Structure 1
Amino acid sequence: MLSTLARAATRRPLTVIGLWAAFLLLGFGLGTGVFADLSDDVPDVPGTESDLADDYLSGVDPTGESVTAVVAGEAVSDAALRARVERTVAEVREIAGVAEVPNPYTTPGLTARDGQALIIPVTFEGGLTDEAEETATDAAVETIKRIDAPDVHVSGGELLGRQLGERAQQDVKNAELISLPVVLALLLVVFGGLRAAALPLVIAVSGIAGAFLGLFAFSQVTDISVYAIQVTTMLGLGLAVDYALLTVVRFREERRYTDDVVEAVHRTVAAAGRTVLFSGLTVAVSLTGLLVFPSVFLHSMGLAVAAVVVVDMLAAVTLLPALLTRFGGRIRPSRARSADEEGRVFARLARFAQRRRVAVLVTVVPVLLLLALPVSGLRIAIGDARQLPSSTEARQLYDTVDAHFPKGTGVSPVVVVLKPGTDPATADRIRALAPNAASRDLPGGNTVVELQPPGTVDGTAATGLVERVRELRGDEPVQVTGVAARLVDFRAMLADRAPWAALTVLAAVLVLLFAFTGSVLIPLRTIATTLLSLGAALGVVVWVFQDGHGAGLLGGEGLGALSLTAPPLIVSIAFGLAMDYELFILARMREARQRGDDDHEAVVTGLRRSGRVVTCAALLLAIVFGAFMTGGFSPILQIGLGLTLAVLIDATVVRMLLVPATMALLGRHAWWAPRPLRSVHDRFGLREPATPEHPAPTSA
């Protein structure tokens, strides 16, 4: 298959380049339309009680979405300000689609006790079309923003999703502006020439276009989270650089032995292309574990990110060979080195780890387990506006309300739906769970009870209130929804489906690694060492962003819990990236064994020839992740830190020390498989013919 792709790319390189150019235009043209349709409804899980109750209310409740405005910065008792506010309230009430706007001066709780701020909630009519609701929202915001006061902030509802989408788009642009020049500079250092350094960036841009186009396609059939933009773009950019770096390094190596560019491309694709193919499949499979979860957010993220990985993989085995065919003759071959000189540092590390394998294991493994220890106290939450950078509208509104109003003001209530047939005694007991419980009757004999929890919207008090209502109701026709209820249901979904997701991914990865190596023990060893680096990275994220140790240095703060988006995405993506580097090394080990090296020397040769690529790739990927962390959005900070640490720990400590140590312990059994499985691999294993050994280099 790879030989066929290589021949097609070298026979008609301009055609292949032209097709990819059209894809790029489509991605950056049509694909960027996804920014206009992003959702912040991450915790929704179809079929859960909170989701069913919310759908039920949407059909019977005449009220719709709402936005909240806060006016602050001067005494609200000022007669001129009061006149401006009341005039604005009257104008907003006249906007088509607006259902209710209470007067903050006559409605209890909407004016701060210190007299320095007031809140204006705007509720829209239910049943509005998306276009009508957007028009009404824009008109209301424009009217409120005309209030002449030092601080006027509006957010919430459909408006919040738009604000987050705009912020996501800006963060992506800033990250690209930061990361691409730095990546290019490092690639210039690695390759020593602009042409070779530019090729990985071309593939990276293709990955970004694929990210946008994939997200736009999925947005037509499902909701796309605001988090998806940063995550898919950072992964698409990072993996594209990884695959292109591996391929270009191999091409420069092949050019040492032939002046025929087409022949060098064929040999490159036969060797490095096979690694890229398996790596892309393995990373994609690791991410499709997210499809096991019924959450719309996780489901769409799994599909979108896996699609981006496939785009990167295809670009590396089609576009890059075409570019090398067209421009590779101008790329300098890598400098010939003697066997002792090539990769000396990595060879020494490998031999050290082999000689001191027990010492390495008893030193490295406990350290990684210690770093992973905070994971035992991991908590997840939906979070509030504190996750956002201080420059965002929603965060400014939150900070203003928090500064002038009692704690808990504006916290979403626990919403209880009492359907016809509910025992009045049960209803009374539910109302008694929170002071000042608000009730309202809806058509069809339904009653909605809103219980205001103390603390945060998704704290232990709020989630405990949900669980107490569900205990009290018994068999009564009572349903609970709201932010806290969605969090309770999301946690239950994760606990129920996570084991199945893990089994699905592990089984698929074991099959792919067996197809790549023909070994049973190497895949098991790979998964064990990968889980160590993954646990260590996630443990540090918990220690920083949940417990608050040094979060301020990264532009965040300790929130007492991680965003519910972070752990599943860190685990799935980091696991896939670890497989990426493992395959880079195993490919070189396998080549060495095929050429006659013994098992110990094959490990040394594998690290000698892949160590530089793996280290450079990990450093470049860490730069990409770090650039996305400059946006200050806490969930992206968490994901970025987790992936950065996972990549660096895995590419250094695990691959350079644990891999040779464990391979030395396994010895000749490392590549073992039972005879029936060996026959299966010989017949069905996906492989290319072994690349013949090159003659020894004769010149520097």
Structure 2
Amino acid sequence: MLQQSSPVDRVRTGPLARLGRLVAHHPVRWLVAWVLITIACFAVAVGGVTGQSLFNRLHSGDPSVGGEAQQARTVIERIEPSFDNLMLQVRGADLRDAAAVRQAAARTAQIRDIAGVHEVRSPLLSPKGVAVPSVAPLLAGGTASSGGFITVVDFKAGLTKADQKAAEQQVTTALGTVTSAFPGATGEVGGVQPVIDAITSTVERDLLRGEGIALPLTFIVMFFVFGGFVAAGMPVVGAVAAIGGALLSLFGFSHAVDLDATVVNIVTLLGFGLSIDYGLLTVSRFREELAVARGDAAELTQEHIVQATGHTVATAGRTVLFSGLTVAIALAGLLVFEAEIMKAIGLAGVSVVLVALVVAVTLVPALAVLGARRLARKARVAASDEGAFSALARTVQRRPILVIIGVLVVLVALAIPTFSVKLTASGTDLLPKSAPQRVFFEDLARDYPTLSSPEVTVVATSSDTAAVTTWAQGLRSEPGVTAVSVRPLGTDHQLVSVRVAGSPTSDDAQAVVSHVREGGAPFPTLTTGQAAGQMDFLSSMARGAPYAVLLVVVGTFLLLFLMTGSVVVPIKALLLNVLSLGAALGVVVWVFEKGHLEGLLAFSSVGAVESMVPFLVLAFGFGLSMDYEVFLLSRITEFHNHGHDNDRSVSLGLQRTGRIITSAALLIIIVFAGFIAGDILIIKEIGVALVAAVLIDATLVRMLLVPATMTLLGQWNWWSPRPLRQLHERFGITE
């Protein structure tokens, strides 16, 4: 067993130790400062003290990049600028009731006089009545006998947000009076902005629900881990402060980039989870340091508390900072990609990690100092060298090859579905199946197909409509194509609308895009639509992936080398992370693409996985996995550097960190369970993926595969070329 250092020998002079002692001398000041900062963060980001809250600034839409689809949309928008609009779908209206039609038409015509309205389209406004062919596209099923019709209200371009909102409110009220003109009829109002509002409000509700699940459950688990309310509450208080900082950072980024609504849940709950993990590590170490600093003294003095705090921040703080760097490097890989949403998540994620780090080395120690006397009642020196985790390590070490083979079989089996993954970019499908706006657009596509966007749109640079029409008719032979239409777009372009059966990002829709882009048209073409946009997005991600992987691999390798002095351990850690993340993605594909557990998880499968999910899971999952790797390797390396042989170092390292890793994994799973409880599909997918990644990593990988591989490699674990050994001796990260 390692010898305990005397209090004098343990005095530290490094910057982290000095920070710890500074916090210990003025804990109330640090606490008050953090309370004020946290209140300010929530007031600005959520309270709207600046006139807007974070949730008012969120957007929603397909992830896009500057590819051909974007170029096509730019051409269309330049020639025919689009207008924001609201639509009213009426059902059960008797369009043969002349009096009701007259009254509804008069109320519809009055909408034109509302400030901000550009145009109103409705079959009720037809001077020749609703039976003429020209208004058939505005009738459900193309016929008045269906009892359904739609009214479209376009708003003027360039309205301020305030004017736009005021106009929308007035139009919504006026559309309600149109419906009431028909006895027994029902009407629903929808549009792009209501969809965005529905998604952002659902995100806000999901965030509150996730926190409502995570906060009490984590507190309960922490209570049993620490055996007291005071110790359990410290990491939770730190997590609340981290959430405030996360929301403020997101609010700031929303002024620089268009921030997707789903980013809020991802980033804030990540900050919450990391804060809980780091708080757990810090408070646990503080308790140990209290026992060491006090020694056999009956009373705990202020000097004991100061010494314990300095040593805690110098040791646990170092681990926290090192772990945070690994997470930050993984998230920094997202900055390499072209897509704005990936950059936004990367920037916000890195900033949240920084907030969690600062909270862990300032606020949590301050809370620990204030509660030191309560914590000291159950303070104890380092955990025993023998226990359940050391016994597990010895069991694994007796049959390492068998353990490796068994775990690899399980991981490969879980990863197999990944090879058949289908990616999509859902719109209203992100909302629950019963959500009014999702139902609205599903009804729109069914009853008014000409008003819904075609699956594929081609912008042809040609003034010859007949020639473009002749070429476009050849697309009807493509699989899944149900209709093709051509109309002039300005004087020099033609707009080709191709309708394809199935979802907007179906294989058939993508095949049409590929066919057009491969050439053959006697004039230049640009394709757009959801399928084209997704193909551009994935192509852009594929171009950036090698650079992102290189950044993450090199950065992680260097950090682990500086910690361990080995080139074998970092390589092994990277390979094991790939296996565990592959298994986690396999679980996501099996659940969401194949449609398993729909009832249990309360979702409707779209037959694919959201296109951003694999990239986000690889970034966030890799960071979290390396977080636990650092916890374990730091102790194994410490014991090896103190002279223990390889197997004993692994056994001791697992024994000392097993409880922390298990507790941290349980807590982070509880946090990400808040994702699964949400209603937004992509958030639910990320939640399942990260829960699976943490569960697999903290059990199969850290508890079985790591000790088995380190046992099999023996002293080779610590090998590195002589020049690198000399480099580590000079720049290595040691306590």
Q: How far off is 1:469 after superposition?
A: 2.4
Alignment partners' CA distance in 2, 1:338 and 1:218 = 43
Structure 1 stretches of 5 or more lacking a match? 689-700
Secondary structure of the structure 2 residue equivalent to 1:673? coil
Q: What is the aligned partner in structure 1 of residue 38 from structure 2?
A: 24
For 1:467 and 1:68, the matched residues in 2 are separated by: 33
Show the 5 A alignment for 1:10-409: 10-32=24-46, 33-45=53-65, 47-72=66-91, 82=101, 85-104=104-123, 106=130, 107-113=135-141, 115=146, 117-146=148-177, 147-148=179-180, 151-259=186-294, 260-332=304-376, 334=378, 336=380, 344-398=387-441, 400-401=443-444, 405=447
State the alpha-carbon separation in 1 of the partners of residues 495 and 427 from structure 2: 24
Per the alignment, in what secondary structure is the counterpart of residue 554 of structure 2?
helix
Shift of 1:515: 1.7
> How many Å separate the matches in 2 of 1:384 and 1:281?
35
Rounded to whole Å, the distance in 2 between the matches of 1:40 and 1:237 is 24
Report deviation, 1:255.
2.0
Deviation of 1:407 after TM superposition, in Å, equals 8.3
Q: Deviations over 1:381-421 (max 9, x none)?
A: 1124233124533123145457x638898354422223356
What secondary structure, in the 3-state scheme, does the structure 2 residue paired with 1:631 have? coil
- Going from structure 1 to structure 2, the CA distance change for 1:315 and 1:667 (only over 3 Å counts) comes to same
- Paired amino acid for 2:322: F
Aligned letter for 1:592? F
Residue 495 of structure 2 corresponds to 448
Aligned residue for 1:698?
Answer: none
Contact 2:463–2:491, Cα closer than 8 Å, also in 1: no
Q: Are residues 421 and 685 of structure 1, via their aligned partners in 2, closer, same or farther at CA, if it must alter by over 3 Å?
A: farther
Mark the structure with the bigger radius of gyration: 2
Residues 213/339 of structure 1: CA separation in 2 closer, same or farther (3 Å cut) = closer
Q: Is residue 448 of structure 2 the alignment partner of residue 417 of structure 1?
A: no
Q: Which residue in 1 is equivalent to 2:601?
A: 554
Amino acid at match of 1:137: E
* Cα deviation code 1:314-359 (max 9, x no counterpart): 110122222222322321454658976x661111111111111000
Describe the shift of the 1:651–1:151 C-alpha distance in structure 2 as closer, same or farther (beyond 3 A).
farther
**1:581 to 1:85, Cα distance in 2 relative to 1, 3 A:** farther
Tell me the distance in 1 between the aligned counterparts of 2:386 and 2:674. 29
* 3-state SS in 2 of match to 1:2: helix
Query: 1:11, CA displacement in angstroms?
Result: 3.1
Question: 2:613 matched to 1:566?
Answer: yes
Against the structure 1 CA distance between its residues 392 and 87, is the aligned structure 2 distance closer, same or farther, given a 3 Å change threshold?
Answer: farther
Q: Which sits farther off after the overlay, 259-268 or 238-247?
A: 259-268
Question: Which digits, 9 at most, give the CA deviation of each residue in 1:293-331, with x for residues without a partner?
Answer: 100111111111111111101110122222222322321
For 2:100 and 2:734, locate their aligned partners in 1 and report how far apart those are by CA, in whole Å: 75
- Deviation, structure 1 residue 477: 3.3
Q: Structure 1 residue 246: deviation in Å?
A: 1.0
SS at match of 1:64: coil
How far 1:455 sits from its partner (Å)?
1.8
1:411–1:456 CA contact under 8 A, matched in 2: no
Alignment CA distance shift 1:407-1:52 (3 Å) = closer
The structure 1 residue matched to 2:557, chosen from 492, 503, 510, is: 510
Are the aligned partners of 2:199 and 2:680 in contact in 1 as well (CA < 8 Å)? no
Is the CA contact 1:252–1:333 (under 8 Å) kept in the aligned structure 2?
no
Q: Is the 8 A contact 1:63 1:124 kept in 2?
A: no
Q: TM-score, structure 2 length as denominator?
A: 0.88
Greater shift, 623-632 or 67-76, is seen at: 67-76
Partner of 1:646: 693
Partner of 1:697: none
Cα 1:28–1:367 change in 2 (3 A) is same
Letter of the structure 1 residue corresponding to residue 618 of structure 2: V
Deviation at 1:171, TM superposition (A): 1.1
- Structure 1: distance between partners of 2:392 and 2:101: 73
Distance in 1 separating the partners of 2:72 and 2:442 = 31
State the secondary structure of the residue aligned to 2:152. strand
Residues 200, 145 of structure 1: alpha-carbon distance in 2 compared, 3 angstrom cutoff:
farther
2: CA distance, partners of 1:215 / 1:301? 9
* 1:591-628 CA distance string (max 9 Å, x none): 22233322111111111111111111111111111123
Q: Which residue of 2 aligns with 1:482?
A: 529
Residue 50 (structure 2) aligns with: none
CA RMSD, Structure 1 to Structure 2 (Å)? 2.6
1:525-565 CA-partner distances (Å, limit 9, x unpaired): 11111111111111011011001122231011221110112
Indicate the SS of the match to 1:63: coil
Larger mean CA deviation between 467-476 and 503-512 belongs to 467-476
How far did 1:655 drift? 0.3
Q: Decide which moves more: 612-621 or 387-396.
A: 387-396
Equivalent residues of 2:85, 2:154 under 8 A apart: yes
User: 1: CA distance between counterparts of 2:102 and 2:391?
Assistant: 78
Aligned residues: 685
Structure 2, unpaired ranges of 5+: 1-14, 47-52, 125-129, 295-303, 477-481
| Secondary structure of residue in 2 paired with 1:331 | helix
Partner SS for 2:154: strand
Q: Which moved more, 1:448-457 or 1:204-213?
A: 448-457
Contact 2:462/2:468 (8 A) holds in 1 = no
Q: What secondary structure does 1:452 align onto?
A: strand
Contact 1:239 1:309 in 2 (8 A): yes
Shift of 1:522: 0.8
> Which residue identity does 1:667 align to in structure 2?
G
SS, match of residue 87 in structure 2: strand
Confirm or deny: 8 A CA contact 1:252 1:331 kept in the other structure.
Answer: yes
**Given that residues 27 and 210 in structure 1 are in contact (C-alpha distance below 8 angstroms), is that contact kept between their aligned partners in structure 2?**
yes
Quote the Cα distance in structure 2 between the aligned partners of 1:325 and 1:505.
37
Q: Is the 1:431–1:451 contact (alpha carbons within 8 Å) kept by the matching residues of 2?
A: no
Return closer, same or farther for 1:514/1:396 CA change in 2, 3 Å cut-off.
same
Q: In 2 relative to 1, CA 390–512 (structure 1 residues): closer, same or farther, beyond 3 Å?
A: same
CA distance in 1, matches of 2:264, 2:76: 31
C-alpha contact 1:97 1:136 (8 A) present in aligned 2 = yes
Distance of 2:85 and 2:382 partners within structure 1: 70
Stretch of structure 1 that moved more, 611-620 or 146-155: 146-155
Please give the secondary structure, in 1, of the residue aligned with 2:501: coil
- Choose 667-676 or 296-305, whichever is displaced more: 667-676
**Distance in 1, Cα, partners of 2:113 & 2:535:** 39
TM-score in terms of structure 1 length: 0.92
Give distance in 1, aligned partners of 2:649 and 2:95.
77
Q: Is the 8 A contact 1:417 1:448 kept in 2?
A: yes
Q: How does 1:578-589 map to 2 (within 5 A)?
A: 578-589=625-636
Q: Distance in 2 between matches of 1:141 and 1:487?
A: 33
The equivalent residue for 1:499 is 546
Letter matched to residue 453 of structure 1:
V
Task: Assess if the C-alpha contact under 8 Å between 1:389 and 1:631 holds in 2.
Answer: no
**CA pair 51-331 structure 1, distance change in 2 beyond 3 A:** same
Distance 1:63-1:15 versus aligned 2 partners, 3 A rule: same
Q: Note the alpha carbon deviations across 1:169-223, whole angstroms, 9 max, x for none.
A: 1111121122111111111111111111110111111221122111111111101
* C-alpha contact (below 8 Å) 2:283/2:365 kept by paired residues: no
In 2, Cα distance between the equivalents of 1:227 and 1:613?
30
SS of residue paired to 1:596: coil
